Chains A and B, each alone.
Chain A
Amino acid sequence: MRRFAATGGVRRVRAVLLLARFEFVELVRYPAPILMRCLTLPVYVVALTALWNGLHKRAGDGAGGGFPALAYFLFTQTILDSCLNRFGIGSLVLGFEPALSRPLSWWAQGVAQGFGRTAGQLLVVGGLVQVFLALTGAAYQPAMVLRWLLVLPLLALADALATEVMAGLYIRVGKSDSLRFVVTKSLLALGGGLYPLLGDGRGGIGWMRYLPFSDFVFQPAYFCLYGHAYGMATGLWLARVACWMALLALAAHASFRLAWRGLQVAGG
Protein backbone atom coordinates (compact mmCIF):
# COMPACT_ATOMS: atom_id res chain seq x y z
CA MET A 1 0.00 0.00 0.00
CA ARG A 2 1.36 3.40 -1.01
CA ARG A 3 1.62 6.13 1.56
CA PHE A 4 0.87 9.74 0.91
CA ALA A 5 2.24 12.68 2.83
CA ALA A 6 -1.01 14.53 3.38
CA THR A 7 -4.51 13.21 3.77
CA GLY A 8 -8.07 14.40 3.26
CA GLY A 9 -8.78 18.01 4.08
CA VAL A 10 -5.18 19.19 4.39
CA ARG A 11 -4.32 17.76 0.97
CA ARG A 12 -7.34 19.39 -0.64
CA VAL A 13 -6.68 22.80 0.93
CA ARG A 14 -3.02 22.72 -0.14
CA ALA A 15 -3.93 21.78 -3.70
CA VAL A 16 -6.64 24.45 -3.93
CA LEU A 17 -4.31 27.15 -2.60
CA LEU A 18 -1.53 26.14 -5.01
CA LEU A 19 -3.91 26.15 -7.98
CA ALA A 20 -5.25 29.60 -7.04
CA ARG A 21 -1.70 30.88 -6.50
CA PHE A 22 -0.45 29.67 -9.89
CA GLU A 23 -3.48 31.15 -11.70
CA PHE A 24 -2.90 34.46 -9.92
CA VAL A 25 0.86 34.47 -10.55
CA GLU A 26 0.44 33.56 -14.24
CA LEU A 27 -2.00 36.41 -14.77
CA VAL A 28 0.11 38.97 -12.96
CA ARG A 29 3.33 37.82 -14.72
CA TYR A 30 1.78 37.85 -18.20
CA PRO A 31 -0.96 40.49 -18.17
CA ALA A 32 -0.82 41.22 -21.92
CA PRO A 33 -4.07 39.36 -22.85
CA ILE A 34 -5.98 41.09 -20.05
CA LEU A 35 -4.59 44.49 -20.96
CA MET A 36 -5.49 43.93 -24.61
CA ARG A 37 -9.06 43.20 -23.54
CA CYS A 38 -9.12 46.41 -21.51
CA LEU A 39 -8.03 48.60 -24.43
CA THR A 40 -11.57 49.87 -24.92
CA LEU A 41 -12.00 50.66 -21.22
CA PRO A 42 -10.71 54.27 -21.44
CA VAL A 43 -13.11 54.96 -24.32
CA TYR A 44 -16.17 53.99 -22.25
CA VAL A 45 -14.89 55.78 -19.20
CA VAL A 46 -14.06 59.03 -20.97
CA ALA A 47 -17.38 58.99 -22.85
CA LEU A 48 -19.44 58.30 -19.72
CA THR A 49 -17.56 60.90 -17.69
CA ALA A 50 -18.04 63.51 -20.40
CA LEU A 51 -21.74 62.64 -20.52
CA TRP A 52 -22.04 62.94 -16.75
CA ASN A 53 -20.14 66.24 -16.59
CA GLY A 54 -22.15 67.62 -19.53
CA LEU A 55 -25.46 66.77 -17.87
CA HIS A 56 -24.44 68.55 -14.69
CA LYS A 57 -23.06 71.61 -16.45
CA ARG A 58 -26.36 71.98 -18.27
CA ALA A 59 -28.19 71.71 -14.96
CA GLY A 60 -25.91 74.43 -13.55
CA ASP A 61 -24.28 72.15 -10.95
CA GLY A 62 -20.74 72.87 -12.03
CA ALA A 63 -18.39 70.13 -13.21
CA GLY A 64 -19.87 66.76 -12.29
CA GLY A 65 -21.90 68.01 -9.33
CA GLY A 66 -18.98 67.09 -7.06
CA PHE A 67 -19.22 63.38 -7.84
CA PRO A 68 -15.88 61.76 -8.84
CA ALA A 69 -17.36 60.36 -12.03
CA LEU A 70 -14.05 59.43 -13.69
CA ALA A 71 -12.88 57.33 -10.73
CA TYR A 72 -16.34 55.79 -10.34
CA PHE A 73 -16.59 54.74 -13.99
CA LEU A 74 -13.03 53.38 -13.93
CA PHE A 75 -13.84 51.17 -10.94
CA THR A 76 -17.16 49.91 -12.27
CA GLN A 77 -15.75 49.19 -15.75
CA THR A 78 -12.82 47.31 -14.20
CA ILE A 79 -15.26 45.16 -12.22
CA LEU A 80 -17.52 44.56 -15.23
CA ASP A 81 -14.57 43.60 -17.44
CA SER A 82 -13.52 40.90 -14.98
CA CYS A 83 -16.94 39.19 -14.95
CA LEU A 84 -17.53 35.78 -16.50
CA ASN A 85 -14.40 35.55 -18.58
CA ARG A 86 -14.99 33.30 -21.61
CA PHE A 87 -11.52 31.75 -21.34
CA GLY A 88 -12.18 30.91 -17.68
CA ILE A 89 -15.40 29.11 -18.56
CA GLY A 90 -13.65 27.23 -21.40
CA SER A 91 -10.81 26.16 -19.13
CA LEU A 92 -13.24 24.70 -16.58
CA VAL A 93 -15.17 22.88 -19.32
CA LEU A 94 -11.96 21.29 -20.62
CA GLY A 95 -10.91 20.30 -17.12
CA PHE A 96 -14.19 18.61 -16.22
CA GLU A 97 -13.42 15.00 -17.16
CA PRO A 98 -9.79 14.97 -15.94
CA ALA A 99 -11.01 16.39 -12.63
CA LEU A 100 -13.51 13.56 -12.19
CA SER A 101 -10.70 11.01 -12.15
CA ARG A 102 -8.70 12.92 -9.51
CA PRO A 103 -9.09 12.90 -5.73
CA LEU A 104 -10.14 16.57 -5.70
CA SER A 105 -13.54 17.75 -6.88
CA TRP A 106 -13.98 19.77 -10.07
CA TRP A 107 -15.97 22.19 -7.94
CA ALA A 108 -12.97 22.97 -5.71
CA GLN A 109 -10.56 23.11 -8.66
CA GLY A 110 -12.88 25.47 -10.52
CA VAL A 111 -13.33 27.87 -7.61
CA ALA A 112 -9.55 27.97 -7.04
CA GLN A 113 -8.83 28.61 -10.72
CA GLY A 114 -11.52 31.26 -11.07
CA PHE A 115 -10.55 33.01 -7.86
CA GLY A 116 -6.86 33.18 -8.78
CA ARG A 117 -7.54 34.43 -12.30
CA THR A 118 -10.10 37.10 -11.36
CA ALA A 119 -8.07 38.29 -8.37
CA GLY A 120 -5.05 38.64 -10.67
CA GLN A 121 -7.04 40.60 -13.23
CA LEU A 122 -8.57 42.92 -10.63
CA LEU A 123 -5.15 43.50 -9.12
CA VAL A 124 -3.46 44.31 -12.44
CA VAL A 125 -6.20 46.47 -13.96
CA GLY A 126 -7.22 47.94 -10.60
CA GLY A 127 -3.57 48.77 -9.94
CA LEU A 128 -3.32 50.63 -13.25
CA VAL A 129 -6.52 52.51 -12.44
CA GLN A 130 -5.04 53.58 -9.09
CA VAL A 131 -1.82 54.73 -10.75
CA PHE A 132 -3.80 56.64 -13.36
CA LEU A 133 -5.92 58.33 -10.68
CA ALA A 134 -2.84 59.18 -8.62
CA LEU A 135 -1.09 60.71 -11.65
CA THR A 136 -4.09 62.74 -12.80
CA GLY A 137 -5.12 63.61 -9.26
CA ALA A 138 -8.75 62.93 -10.16
CA ALA A 139 -10.43 62.39 -6.76
CA TYR A 140 -7.52 60.21 -5.68
CA GLN A 141 -7.08 59.24 -2.05
CA PRO A 142 -4.39 56.77 -0.91
CA ALA A 143 -7.07 54.89 1.08
CA MET A 144 -8.66 53.85 -2.23
CA VAL A 145 -5.87 51.32 -2.73
CA LEU A 146 -6.61 49.66 0.59
CA ARG A 147 -10.37 49.69 -0.06
CA TRP A 148 -9.82 48.14 -3.50
CA LEU A 149 -7.71 45.40 -1.92
CA LEU A 150 -10.51 44.78 0.61
CA VAL A 151 -13.25 44.29 -1.99
CA LEU A 152 -11.00 42.37 -4.41
CA PRO A 153 -11.31 38.92 -2.73
CA LEU A 154 -15.10 39.27 -2.53
CA LEU A 155 -15.39 40.14 -6.21
CA ALA A 156 -12.96 37.37 -7.20
CA LEU A 157 -14.84 34.73 -5.20
CA ALA A 158 -18.22 35.82 -6.59
CA ASP A 159 -16.88 35.68 -10.14
CA ALA A 160 -15.29 32.27 -9.53
CA LEU A 161 -18.62 30.86 -8.36
CA ALA A 162 -20.56 32.46 -11.22
CA THR A 163 -17.99 31.09 -13.71
CA GLU A 164 -18.49 27.64 -12.25
CA VAL A 165 -22.28 27.95 -12.70
CA MET A 166 -21.78 28.90 -16.35
CA ALA A 167 -19.24 26.12 -16.99
CA GLY A 168 -21.59 23.51 -15.50
CA LEU A 169 -24.43 24.74 -17.70
CA TYR A 170 -22.15 24.73 -20.73
CA ILE A 171 -21.25 21.08 -20.12
CA ARG A 172 -24.92 20.15 -19.60
CA VAL A 173 -26.56 21.98 -22.47
CA GLY A 174 -23.61 22.38 -24.81
CA LYS A 175 -23.81 26.18 -24.84
CA SER A 176 -24.22 28.86 -22.24
CA ASP A 177 -23.14 31.90 -24.26
CA SER A 178 -26.69 33.26 -24.45
CA LEU A 179 -27.07 33.01 -20.68
CA ARG A 180 -23.63 34.58 -20.19
CA PHE A 181 -24.76 37.42 -22.43
CA VAL A 182 -27.92 37.94 -20.34
CA VAL A 183 -25.98 37.94 -17.05
CA THR A 184 -23.19 40.27 -18.21
CA LYS A 185 -25.67 42.71 -19.79
CA SER A 186 -27.82 42.61 -16.62
CA LEU A 187 -24.72 43.48 -14.63
CA LEU A 188 -23.99 46.31 -17.04
CA ALA A 189 -27.55 47.67 -17.02
CA LEU A 190 -28.55 47.01 -13.42
CA GLY A 191 -25.18 46.65 -11.67
CA GLY A 192 -24.73 50.34 -11.24
CA GLY A 193 -22.29 51.29 -13.96
CA LEU A 194 -24.76 53.89 -15.17
CA TYR A 195 -26.45 54.84 -11.86
CA PRO A 196 -24.85 58.29 -11.65
CA LEU A 197 -26.33 59.16 -15.03
CA LEU A 198 -29.81 58.32 -13.78
CA GLY A 199 -29.84 60.72 -10.87
CA ASP A 200 -27.62 63.13 -9.03
CA GLY A 201 -24.86 60.65 -8.37
CA ARG A 202 -25.96 59.77 -4.87
CA GLY A 203 -29.68 59.49 -5.35
CA GLY A 204 -32.16 58.63 -8.02
CA ILE A 205 -31.23 54.96 -8.26
CA GLY A 206 -34.16 53.91 -6.08
CA TRP A 207 -34.99 50.25 -5.98
CA MET A 208 -32.14 49.22 -8.28
CA ARG A 209 -29.63 49.39 -5.47
CA TYR A 210 -31.40 46.46 -3.79
CA LEU A 211 -30.65 44.14 -6.69
CA PRO A 212 -27.80 41.64 -6.32
CA PHE A 213 -26.09 43.15 -9.37
CA SER A 214 -25.73 46.41 -7.48
CA ASP A 215 -24.05 44.65 -4.55
CA PHE A 216 -21.28 43.41 -6.83
CA VAL A 217 -20.70 46.46 -9.06
CA PHE A 218 -22.11 49.71 -7.71
CA GLN A 219 -21.52 49.19 -4.01
CA PRO A 220 -17.87 48.01 -4.30
CA ALA A 221 -17.07 51.04 -6.51
CA TYR A 222 -18.87 53.37 -4.12
CA PHE A 223 -17.07 51.76 -1.18
CA CYS A 224 -13.70 52.38 -2.87
CA LEU A 225 -14.57 56.06 -3.34
CA TYR A 226 -16.10 56.86 0.05
CA GLY A 227 -15.17 54.02 2.40
CA HIS A 228 -18.76 53.02 3.11
CA ALA A 229 -21.74 51.55 1.28
CA TYR A 230 -24.39 53.70 -0.36
CA GLY A 231 -27.82 53.94 1.26
CA MET A 232 -27.23 51.19 3.83
CA ALA A 233 -24.78 50.28 6.59
CA THR A 234 -21.55 48.75 5.28
CA GLY A 235 -22.18 45.72 7.50
CA LEU A 236 -25.58 45.19 5.90
CA TRP A 237 -24.06 45.39 2.43
CA LEU A 238 -21.42 42.80 3.42
CA ALA A 239 -24.13 40.57 4.90
CA ARG A 240 -26.06 40.84 1.62
CA VAL A 241 -22.89 39.93 -0.30
CA ALA A 242 -22.41 36.90 1.97
CA CYS A 243 -25.99 35.79 1.27
CA TRP A 244 -25.60 36.14 -2.50
CA MET A 245 -22.32 34.21 -2.29
CA ALA A 246 -24.02 31.38 -0.40
CA LEU A 247 -26.72 31.27 -3.10
CA LEU A 248 -24.06 31.34 -5.82
CA ALA A 249 -22.22 28.46 -4.11
CA LEU A 250 -25.45 26.43 -4.04
CA ALA A 251 -26.08 27.28 -7.70
CA ALA A 252 -22.50 26.26 -8.59
CA HIS A 253 -22.96 22.95 -6.81
CA ALA A 254 -26.30 22.37 -8.52
CA SER A 255 -24.70 23.24 -11.86
CA PHE A 256 -21.93 20.70 -11.21
CA ARG A 257 -24.48 18.00 -10.36
CA LEU A 258 -26.38 18.85 -13.54
CA ALA A 259 -23.20 18.57 -15.63
CA TRP A 260 -22.21 15.33 -13.92
CA ARG A 261 -25.64 13.80 -14.44
CA GLY A 262 -25.59 14.87 -18.08
CA LEU A 263 -22.25 13.13 -18.57
CA GLN A 264 -23.54 9.93 -16.94
CA VAL A 265 -26.66 9.85 -19.08
CA ALA A 266 -25.28 11.02 -22.42
CA GLY A 267 -21.59 10.12 -22.10
CA GLY A 268 -20.35 13.62 -22.95
Chain B
Amino acid sequence: MTAIRADGLYKCYERRNWRGRVVESVEAVRGISFEVQPGEMAAFLGANGAGKSTTLRLLSGVLTPTRGEASICGHRSGTPEAAMRFGFVSGNRSLLWSHMTVRQSLEIIGAIYGLRAAERRERIAALARELDLEGFLGRRGGTLSLGERMRCEMAAAVLHRPAVLLADEPTLGLDIPTRWALRELLRGWTRASGITLLLTSHDAGDIESLCERTLLIAQGQLVFDGPTATLESQAGSLEESLARHMGERR
Protein backbone atom coordinates (compact mmCIF):
# COMPACT_ATOMS: atom_id res chain seq x y z
CA MET B 1 0.00 0.00 0.00
CA THR B 2 1.25 3.49 -0.87
CA ALA B 3 2.29 5.48 2.23
CA ILE B 4 1.54 8.94 0.82
CA ARG B 5 -0.56 9.65 -2.22
CA ALA B 6 -1.46 12.98 -3.80
CA ASP B 7 -3.82 12.72 -6.75
CA GLY B 8 -4.39 15.93 -8.72
CA LEU B 9 -4.20 18.07 -5.57
CA TYR B 10 -5.41 21.58 -6.22
CA LYS B 11 -5.85 24.32 -3.65
CA CYS B 12 -7.06 27.81 -4.30
CA TYR B 13 -7.20 30.49 -1.58
CA GLU B 14 -9.76 33.24 -1.93
CA ARG B 15 -10.34 36.65 -0.45
CA ARG B 16 -13.94 37.76 -0.41
CA ASN B 17 -15.56 41.12 0.15
CA TRP B 18 -18.39 41.74 2.62
CA ARG B 19 -20.95 40.60 0.02
CA GLY B 20 -19.20 37.25 -0.24
CA ARG B 21 -17.84 37.93 -3.74
CA VAL B 22 -14.35 36.71 -4.53
CA VAL B 23 -12.08 39.73 -4.98
CA GLU B 24 -8.78 37.88 -5.15
CA SER B 25 -7.80 34.27 -5.62
CA VAL B 26 -4.41 32.59 -5.37
CA GLU B 27 -3.70 29.12 -6.76
CA ALA B 28 -1.33 27.77 -4.11
CA VAL B 29 -1.19 24.19 -5.43
CA ARG B 30 -2.07 23.36 -9.04
CA GLY B 31 -2.79 19.72 -9.73
CA ILE B 32 0.06 17.95 -7.96
CA SER B 33 0.23 14.14 -8.19
CA PHE B 34 2.84 11.88 -6.60
CA GLU B 35 3.22 8.77 -4.48
CA VAL B 36 5.69 7.93 -1.73
CA GLN B 37 6.23 4.26 -0.95
CA PRO B 38 6.56 2.82 2.58
CA GLY B 39 10.03 3.36 4.04
CA GLU B 40 10.97 5.93 1.42
CA MET B 41 12.55 9.23 2.50
CA ALA B 42 11.61 12.04 0.16
CA ALA B 43 12.32 15.76 0.15
CA PHE B 44 9.67 18.22 -0.95
CA LEU B 45 11.37 21.40 -2.04
CA GLY B 46 10.53 24.76 -3.51
CA ALA B 47 11.05 28.49 -3.13
CA ASN B 48 9.08 30.51 -0.59
CA GLY B 49 5.41 30.53 -1.55
CA ALA B 50 5.83 27.65 -4.01
CA GLY B 51 3.17 25.57 -2.26
CA LYS B 52 5.22 23.16 -0.11
CA SER B 53 3.59 23.92 3.21
CA THR B 54 0.13 24.03 1.63
CA THR B 55 0.73 20.54 0.18
CA LEU B 56 1.83 19.22 3.57
CA ARG B 57 -1.20 20.81 5.21
CA LEU B 58 -3.40 19.14 2.57
CA LEU B 59 -1.76 15.79 3.25
CA SER B 60 -2.16 16.20 7.01
CA GLY B 61 -5.85 17.11 6.72
CA VAL B 62 -5.46 20.63 8.12
CA LEU B 63 -6.64 21.93 4.75
CA THR B 64 -9.10 20.30 2.39
CA PRO B 65 -8.25 20.38 -1.33
CA THR B 66 -10.36 22.47 -3.71
CA ARG B 67 -9.98 19.54 -6.12
CA GLY B 68 -8.16 16.21 -6.06
CA GLU B 69 -7.47 13.87 -3.20
CA ALA B 70 -4.75 13.16 -0.66
CA SER B 71 -4.35 9.97 1.34
CA ILE B 72 -2.10 8.48 4.00
CA CYS B 73 -1.72 4.68 4.01
CA GLY B 74 -4.85 4.33 1.89
CA HIS B 75 -7.01 6.55 4.11
CA ARG B 76 -8.30 9.89 2.90
CA SER B 77 -6.52 12.81 4.56
CA GLY B 78 -8.62 14.57 7.17
CA THR B 79 -10.22 11.37 8.46
CA PRO B 80 -9.38 10.00 11.94
CA GLU B 81 -8.05 6.81 10.27
CA ALA B 82 -5.49 8.85 8.33
CA ALA B 83 -4.67 11.01 11.37
CA MET B 84 -3.77 7.88 13.36
CA ARG B 85 -1.17 6.91 10.77
CA PHE B 86 1.04 9.97 10.48
CA GLY B 87 3.02 12.29 12.70
CA PHE B 88 3.57 15.95 11.89
CA VAL B 89 6.52 18.03 12.98
CA SER B 90 6.92 21.67 12.08
CA GLY B 91 9.58 24.27 12.72
CA ASN B 92 6.88 26.93 12.70
CA ARG B 93 4.15 25.48 14.86
CA SER B 94 4.50 23.70 18.17
CA LEU B 95 2.67 20.49 19.00
CA LEU B 96 3.40 21.03 22.70
CA TRP B 97 1.34 23.02 25.18
CA SER B 98 3.60 25.90 26.21
CA HIS B 99 2.26 26.13 29.79
CA MET B 100 2.51 22.39 30.49
CA THR B 101 5.55 20.25 31.06
CA VAL B 102 6.90 18.25 28.12
CA ARG B 103 5.88 15.05 29.90
CA GLN B 104 2.29 16.28 30.29
CA SER B 105 2.14 17.32 26.62
CA LEU B 106 3.44 13.91 25.54
CA GLU B 107 0.97 12.15 27.86
CA ILE B 108 -1.95 14.09 26.36
CA ILE B 109 -0.80 13.45 22.79
CA GLY B 110 -0.41 9.75 23.62
CA ALA B 111 -3.96 9.66 25.04
CA ILE B 112 -5.32 11.41 21.94
CA TYR B 113 -3.83 8.58 19.85
CA GLY B 114 -5.39 5.96 22.12
CA LEU B 115 -2.33 4.78 24.07
CA ARG B 116 -3.01 3.44 27.55
CA ALA B 117 -1.27 4.98 30.57
CA ALA B 118 1.36 2.22 30.96
CA GLU B 119 2.08 2.20 27.24
CA ARG B 120 2.43 5.99 27.22
CA ARG B 121 4.90 5.97 30.10
CA GLU B 122 6.93 3.21 28.47
CA ARG B 123 7.11 4.99 25.10
CA ILE B 124 7.89 8.38 26.64
CA ALA B 125 10.74 6.81 28.62
CA ALA B 126 12.07 5.07 25.49
CA LEU B 127 11.88 8.24 23.37
CA ALA B 128 13.47 10.28 26.17
CA ARG B 129 16.45 7.91 26.06
CA GLU B 130 16.65 7.85 22.25
CA LEU B 131 16.26 11.59 21.74
CA ASP B 132 18.10 12.57 24.93
CA LEU B 133 15.10 14.34 26.46
CA GLU B 134 15.44 13.19 30.05
CA GLY B 135 16.50 16.65 31.20
CA PHE B 136 13.51 18.38 29.59
CA LEU B 137 10.56 16.20 30.51
CA GLY B 138 9.79 18.18 33.65
CA ARG B 139 10.16 21.57 31.96
CA ARG B 140 7.37 23.61 30.43
CA GLY B 141 7.21 23.77 26.64
CA GLY B 142 7.48 27.57 26.70
CA THR B 143 10.81 27.52 28.57
CA LEU B 144 12.73 25.33 26.08
CA SER B 145 15.30 26.64 23.63
CA LEU B 146 14.50 26.09 19.94
CA GLY B 147 16.85 23.10 19.69
CA GLU B 148 15.44 21.48 22.82
CA ARG B 149 11.91 22.17 21.67
CA MET B 150 12.48 20.57 18.27
CA ARG B 151 13.71 17.36 19.88
CA CYS B 152 10.59 17.31 22.03
CA GLU B 153 8.44 18.07 18.96
CA MET B 154 10.01 15.07 17.28
CA ALA B 155 9.08 12.88 20.22
CA ALA B 156 5.52 14.27 20.12
CA ALA B 157 5.25 13.49 16.40
CA VAL B 158 6.39 9.87 16.65
CA LEU B 159 5.01 8.88 20.06
CA HIS B 160 2.15 6.88 18.53
CA ARG B 161 4.60 5.14 16.14
CA PRO B 162 3.11 6.46 12.93
CA ALA B 163 3.82 4.89 9.55
CA VAL B 164 4.48 8.32 8.00
CA LEU B 165 6.31 11.39 9.27
CA LEU B 166 5.54 14.74 7.65
CA ALA B 167 8.26 17.22 8.56
CA ASP B 168 7.80 20.88 7.62
CA GLU B 169 11.15 22.67 7.93
CA PRO B 170 12.13 20.96 11.18
CA THR B 171 15.58 22.58 11.20
CA LEU B 172 14.27 26.13 10.66
CA GLY B 173 16.15 28.69 12.73
CA LEU B 174 18.47 26.19 14.40
CA ASP B 175 22.16 26.94 14.82
CA ILE B 176 24.65 24.74 12.92
CA PRO B 177 25.53 22.24 15.71
CA THR B 178 21.86 21.79 16.72
CA ARG B 179 20.77 21.45 13.10
CA TRP B 180 23.45 18.84 12.53
CA ALA B 181 22.48 16.95 15.69
CA LEU B 182 18.79 17.01 14.81
CA ARG B 183 19.53 15.82 11.29
CA GLU B 184 21.60 12.92 12.61
CA LEU B 185 18.87 12.09 15.06
CA LEU B 186 16.23 12.13 12.34
CA ARG B 187 18.36 10.00 10.03
CA GLY B 188 19.20 7.40 12.65
CA TRP B 189 15.70 7.24 13.97
CA THR B 190 13.85 7.07 10.64
CA ARG B 191 16.19 4.37 9.30
CA ALA B 192 15.83 2.29 12.44
CA SER B 193 12.04 2.56 12.58
CA GLY B 194 11.37 2.19 8.84
CA ILE B 195 9.09 5.20 8.88
CA THR B 196 8.20 6.98 5.62
CA LEU B 197 9.49 10.57 5.60
CA LEU B 198 8.32 13.54 3.58
CA LEU B 199 10.47 16.54 4.44
CA THR B 200 10.36 20.17 3.41
CA SER B 201 13.44 22.27 4.03
CA HIS B 202 15.42 25.18 2.65
CA ASP B 203 18.63 23.56 3.79
CA ALA B 204 20.39 21.49 1.13
CA GLY B 205 22.27 19.69 3.90
CA ASP B 206 19.03 18.27 5.28
CA ILE B 207 18.14 16.82 1.90
CA GLU B 208 21.59 15.47 1.10
CA SER B 209 21.89 13.67 4.38
CA LEU B 210 18.31 12.39 4.67
CA CYS B 211 16.54 11.97 1.34
CA GLU B 212 17.33 9.80 -1.63
CA ARG B 213 14.40 11.22 -3.60
CA THR B 214 13.51 14.85 -4.26
CA LEU B 215 10.27 16.41 -5.43
CA LEU B 216 10.62 19.99 -6.58
CA ILE B 217 7.63 22.31 -6.68
CA ALA B 218 7.42 25.71 -8.36
CA GLN B 219 4.37 27.96 -8.62
CA GLY B 220 2.18 25.20 -7.30
CA GLN B 221 3.28 22.56 -9.82
CA LEU B 222 5.66 19.64 -9.61
CA VAL B 223 8.68 20.36 -11.84
CA PHE B 224 11.05 17.59 -10.80
CA ASP B 225 10.60 14.18 -9.24
CA GLY B 226 13.63 11.93 -9.12
CA PRO B 227 16.73 10.83 -7.25
CA THR B 228 18.48 13.55 -5.23
CA ALA B 229 21.74 12.38 -6.84
CA THR B 230 20.43 13.37 -10.31
CA LEU B 231 19.75 16.89 -9.11
CA GLU B 232 23.20 17.04 -7.57
CA SER B 233 24.86 15.93 -10.82
CA GLN B 234 23.06 18.64 -12.84
CA ALA B 235 25.26 21.32 -11.23
CA GLY B 236 28.29 21.48 -8.97
CA SER B 237 26.24 20.89 -5.85
CA LEU B 238 22.70 20.23 -4.76
CA GLU B 239 22.37 23.77 -3.48
CA GLU B 240 23.44 25.21 -6.84
CA SER B 241 21.14 22.90 -8.75
CA LEU B 242 18.19 23.83 -6.51
CA ALA B 243 18.98 27.53 -6.84
CA ARG B 244 18.98 27.19 -10.64
CA HIS B 245 15.71 25.26 -10.75
CA MET B 246 13.95 27.60 -8.36
CA GLY B 247 15.40 30.71 -9.98
CA GLU B 248 14.22 29.65 -13.46
CA ARG B 249 10.68 29.18 -12.27
CA ARG B 250 10.27 32.41 -10.32
* Residues of A near any B CB (own CB < 8 A): 2, 4-7, 11, 14-15, 18-19, 22-23, 26, 87, 91, 94-95, 97-98, 100-104, 109, 263-267
Contacts and interface: CB of A to CB of B under 8 A. Distances in A.
Given A5-B114, A97-B62, A98-B94, 5 more contacts: A5-B116, A11-B114, A103-B80, A103-B83, A263-B63
Contacts of B160: 4
Most buried by A among B28, B62, B85: B62
A100 B97 contact: no
B104 A4 contact: no
15 contacts: A2-B85, A14-B111, A14-B114, A18-B108, A91-B98, A91-B99, A97-B62, A97-B93, A101-B86, A102-B112, A263-B62, A264-B63, A264-B64, A265-B14, A266-B13
B112 A15 contact: yes
Contact of B115 (A4, A26, A87): A4
A154 to B, nearest CB: 25
Given A26-B99, A101-B60, A103-B80, A2 B161 contact: yes
B171 interface: no
B13 A267 contact: yes
Contacts of A5: 114-116, 119
Contacts of A94: 94, 98
A236 to B, nearest CB: 38
A22 B80 contact: no
Given A2-B161, A22-B108, A103-B84, A98 B93 contact: yes
Given A91-B97, A101-B88, A267-B54, A19 B108 contact: yes
Contacts of B14: 265-266
A23 B162 CA distance: 27
B97 A95 contact: yes
A103 B100 contact: no
A6 B112 CA distance: 10
B61 A26 contact: no
Contacts of A4: 84, 113-115, 160
* B interface bracket (residues with beta carbon within 8 Å of A): 35 or more
A57 to B, nearest CB: 46
B115 A102 contact: no
Nearest to A87: B99
B52 to A, nearest CB: 13
B83 A102 contact: yes
Contact of A265 (B16, B100, B108, B116): B16
B15 A100 contact: no
Contacts of A91: 97-99
Contacts of A104: 112
A101 B61 contact: yes
A19 B110 CA distance: 11
B107 A18 contact: yes
Contacts of A100: 60-62
Interface string B98-136: 111000100111011111100100000000000000000
B28 A103 contact: no
A149 to B, nearest CB: 25
A180 to B, nearest CB: 20
A91 B15 CA distance: 26
A263 B58 CA distance: 12
Interface string B54-97: 10010011111000000000000000100111101000011101
Nearest to A4: B114
A266 B112 contact: no
Contact of A101 (B15, B83, B98, B163): B83
A5 B120 CA distance: 11
Given A2-B163, A103-B83, A18 B111 contact: yes
A7 B116 CA distance: 11
Contact of B116 (A6, A19, A23, A103): A6
A15 B108 contact: yes
A23 B108 CA distance: 11
A106 to B, nearest CB: 11
Nearest to B28: A267
Contacts of B57: 97
